Every structure is written in C-alpha cells, then in structure tokens.
Amino acid sequence: MIAKKIDSLGVDIIEAGSAITSDGEREAIKRIAGEGLNAEICSYCRIRKEDIDAAIGCDVASIHLVVPVSDLHIQEKLKKDREAVREMAVEMTEYAKSHGLLVELSGEDASRADLEYLKSVYNAGIDAGADRLCFCDTVGILTPERAYDIFSDLSQLRAPISIHCHNDFGMATANTVAALRAGAREAHVTINGIGERAGNTSLEEVVMVLYSLYKQKTKIDIKGLYTTSRLVSRLSGIPVAPNKAIVGGNAFTHEAGIHVHGLLANTATYEPITPELVGRERRIVLGKHAGRSSVVLALKELGLSASEKQIDDIVVRMKELGDKGKRVTDADLQTIAETVLGIYQEAKVRLEELTVVAGNTVMPTASIRLKVNGNHVVEAGVGTGPVDAAINALRKAVSGVADVQLDEYHVDAITGGTDALVEVWVKLSKGGKTITARGARTDIIMASVEAVLEGINRLIQQEQNRKS
C-alpha cells in the first residue's frame, strides 16, 4: 500500500528495503517489484556478493551499493584499508552490472571521509559501470555551506550524484536543498522524515521548499503529500509530531487571536502556503490565546449569534478554562455560550446503561442502552479492548440518527495513582463537519463514552441550528 501510494506521488526510485535482511523483507521487495509501478524499484546492498544475490532474487531494477569511505568506518567497522575497500567496490559494481542491475554507488559516512579518496572510489566505480553516485551524510554533520561546496565539486564527475542526509542536527532538509542547488541530480528522502535515529530528509519538506521558496517544480503530486503522510504514519505506527512542517497536526492550525484576526482579512498574513496546496484544511482552535475573532468564527460555525458584550464575556470564560491547562473543545465553547446567552438545549442522546465485559479468555464486549430522541435503543458491540467495544456499541446505537466518524482519541491522566482522574479528548466528524469534545472520569471507559456522547449531541445541535 505504501509503495503504491508513493508511486502515485510521482517519485522516480523506491528503495523498497534490504533484500539480505530477512525472508519477510525479501517477500515484500519482490511483491513491490512485481506490482508494475512506474518507479524504479531498488534494494539496499552492502559491498558483499550475498547481498547482491538476494537483490537479484527479488527482481529489482537497481541496487543502492553502499561503500564505507571514512577511515573510521574502513578501519573500525571493516578492519580493512582504503585500497581493499576500493577494490571491493569495483568488484561488486562489476558483479551487479553483469547481472543486469543499475548500480547507484554510495559513499557511506562520506561527510567524514577524505574527499580525494572519496572521488577515487567514485571514479573507479564509474569505470566499473556504476550508473549513479551517492554522498551519504550518515551522521548528519553537514552544514548547508559545506554541502554546497562539496557538491559543486562532485557534480563535475562523470555520473549523476545524489544526496542522502540524516537529521541529527535538524539540518537534513537545508543540506539537501543546498546540494541540489550545487548540482546534485537526485535526493534521498523519506515520508515524514522517518529513519534511523533523528530520521532522514523529509520528502514533503524538500518538495515544498523547492516549490514555494525556489520556484522549482518537481514531478511530485503535492496535493497527495498529506494523505501519503497519514497512510505511512498509520501503517508504520510512527506518529507525526504535531509541530512537524507541512504535515504535522498543527501546521495549519491557528489559536492566537492576532493570527486569526489577520487570517480573516487575508490567509497569507500567517500562512506561507495555503493548506489546500498539500491536500489539507485550515483549522482554528480555541484556547487561552484565542481572541474575539476566533470566538465569533466559532459561534458562527455553531449557528449562534451574540452581542459585543456577550462575546467579551464568552472570551473571558474561555480564557479562564485555558489558563487551567485544559483544552477548550467545541463542546466547552457551546456550553459557555449557552450559559452566557441563556440557552439550554437538552441532549438528544442520553446514556441510560452501559455494561462492558473483558478478560483474557473473552473478546471485549459492550452492551449499551440509550435514549435517542425520546426512544430507548439497546445495542451491543465488540472491540480490541473495552473502550473500543463501548464506542463501537455507542456508534451502532446512534447509527442513522448521528452517523459519526471518530477521527482522533487522546487520553491524559490528570491525577496520579490507580484511581487517577483521566481526561479523554475526541475529535468526531459527520458530513464534513468536525467537532471536539471531552470527558473526565476515574473510569476511562465512561470518560470515553461521555466524550463521544457530548460530541454527538453537539453535532446534532449544530445541524439543527443551521437548519433553523
């Protein structure tokens, strides 16, 4: 799924794994190579015959042949000398070429290597048939200035050269862009910047820096960047930091009142690019930094109107909640607004009874009884855990009345101990509309159900407000 999605973005080469690693890795690489993708499928290889044989068995088009080139790696890791390593690089390049493979000859730890020795390895590799070269900043110590100087030199070699950066000092994107400006023909990148230690260069950052700041278009479908990011995060189990550039949850989220006020006048005031450009949407959230503009916008979304004095009162109450360290959810805002405006809207969906059974010999099962628009509804559900079972039962019970999608779920322990008060925060969506809600109890199951119920009732009320 990931390979197909990356291919649909328009990348040129997919390094699908290292064939020598395991049976599972080989099976995955072979399946990807057999998918008929547009991208060239590549396997990572050490300068060892068994690595190349494993890659050949996976039907890949090319190999990324990695040669340790720093004295530290040559002496401490390989226990060899420079000449022996150069000879190994030539021999394995010739072997791979004799089996019909494209070869990208890569200098590992190149940023700590002697540049003249590195060039001698590259030139020997080119003479042996290498199609491309690669410079690896294996421990992320390049600076943009040094990267530019190095690639101004290496780009004069007889084969195209690529840049492979790690992000140990947070410089991977800057170094990659500097290398490209100096003549590098290819960049090694990963989705979300995932990779060893602090990660590798982020594809979405490089593509958008080139597009927006250097006015250089690539073949990459930029509208697919966010959906690709989400897919990789979900399937790899590696979350994206909220403050991650381009694809992080907060990248196009605004709270501060001065920002929102500017955005309402012109979105360019506090956004370097529009979220739609990368397949995203703008979000305005509420908190202690929110101002009147945010509240007016949120009240409009809720279908409520208020006087200037009432808006001021709502802002003060909302900031008080934020000052206590709490997230200000849509449900919080509506409760505050209804109190200030003297409105009380009775919940359309009420919980009457919930029973959950779980253990190491039974699948977690929940039964729930609700009162929905005055009618009693009883439903049951199963799940991977007791919370999942309870939420599934709840969603089945309100199906048809409020078909909601649970988009996000967060749990925080407010107090310590086994009887800790937990706060559950959820984001729900229905028909293109999203809402956030919170539940707080010592029972995580009840807190979760309470949060989802709160969100469901608010979504129903919003819909009714818009229709009236």
Whether residues 384 and 447 share a domain: the answer is: yes
pLDDT at 264 exceeding the cut of 60: no
Whether residues 54 and 13 share a domain: the answer is: yes
Whether residues 301 and 360 share a domain: the answer is: no
Whether residues 403 and 327 share a domain: the answer is: no
Task: Work out the end-to-end distance of the chain between its first and last CA atoms, rounded to an integer number of angstroms.
Answer: 44
Mean of the pLDDT values across residues 244-263? 66
Whether residues 143 and 12 share a domain: the answer is: yes
Establish if 322 belongs to a structural domain. Answer: yes
Q: What percent of the chain has pLDDT over 70?
A: 87
| CB 387 within 8 Å of CB 444 | yes
Domain span including residue 260? 253-341
Band (67; pLDDT cuts 50, 70, 90): very high
Establish if 241 belongs to a structural domain. Answer: no
Establish if 117 belongs to a structural domain. Answer: yes
Establish if 429 belongs to a structural domain. Answer: yes
User: Which of the pair, 468 or 39, is modelled with greater confidence?
Assistant: 39
User: Which of the pair, 416 or 148, is modelled with greater confidence?
Assistant: 148
Could you tell me whether strands 283-284 and 349-357 are parallel, antiparallel, or unpaired per DSSP bridges? Answer: unpaired
pLDDT at 339 exceeding the cut of 60: yes
Domain-terminating residue out of 341, 368, 390: 341
Rounded-to-integer distance, Cα 146 and Cα 393, Å = 59
pLDDT at 257 exceeding the cut of 60: no
- Beta pairing partners, 368: 354, 379
Task: Please state which of the ranges 11-15, 101-105, 384-388 shows the lowest mean pLDDT.
Answer: 384-388
Letter string b/e over residues 367-403, b meaning 16 or more CB atoms within 10 A of that residue's CB: bbbbebeeeebebebebeebbbbbbbbbbebbeebbe
User: Which of the pair, 438 or 175, is modelled with greater confidence?
Assistant: 175
Phi, psi of 65 (to 5 degrees): -90, 110
Band (253; pLDDT cuts 50, 70, 90): low
Both tokens of 277, joined, read: 């450009």
Rounded-to-integer distance, Cα 172 and Cα 406, Å = 35
Predicted pLDDT at 417: 66
Establish if 244 belongs to a structural domain. Answer: no
Residue with the two structure tokens 């607004």: 337
Rounded-to-integer distance, Cα 191 and Cα 229, Å = 6
| CB 187 within 8 Å of CB 162 | yes
Predicted pLDDT at 279: 82
Band (441; pLDDT cuts 50, 70, 90): confident
Whether residues 289 and 438 share a domain: the answer is: no
Q: What percent of the chain has pLDDT over 90?
A: 57
Whether residues 331 and 359 share a domain: the answer is: no
Band (415; pLDDT cuts 50, 70, 90): low
Predicted pLDDT at 263: 53
Predicted pLDDT at 447: 86
Whether residues 22 and 149 share a domain: the answer is: yes
Whether residues 335 and 452 share a domain: the answer is: no
CATH of the domain at 358: 3.30.160.270
Predicted pLDDT at 299: 78
Return the amino acid letter for 148: Y
User: How many structural domains compose the chain?
Assistant: 3
Whether residues 205 and 277 share a domain: the answer is: no
**Torsion sign, CA atoms 156, 161, 162, 163:** negative
Predicted pLDDT at 289: 63
Domain-terminating residue out of 311, 341, 371: 341
Mean of the pLDDT values across residues 22-44? 97
Whether residues 328 and 366 share a domain: the answer is: no
Q: How many CB atoms lie within 10 A of CB 37?
A: 17
* pTM score of the predicted model: 0.71
Residue with the two structure tokens 């189990």: 237
| 412: CB partners within 8 A, 6+ apart | 422, 423, 425
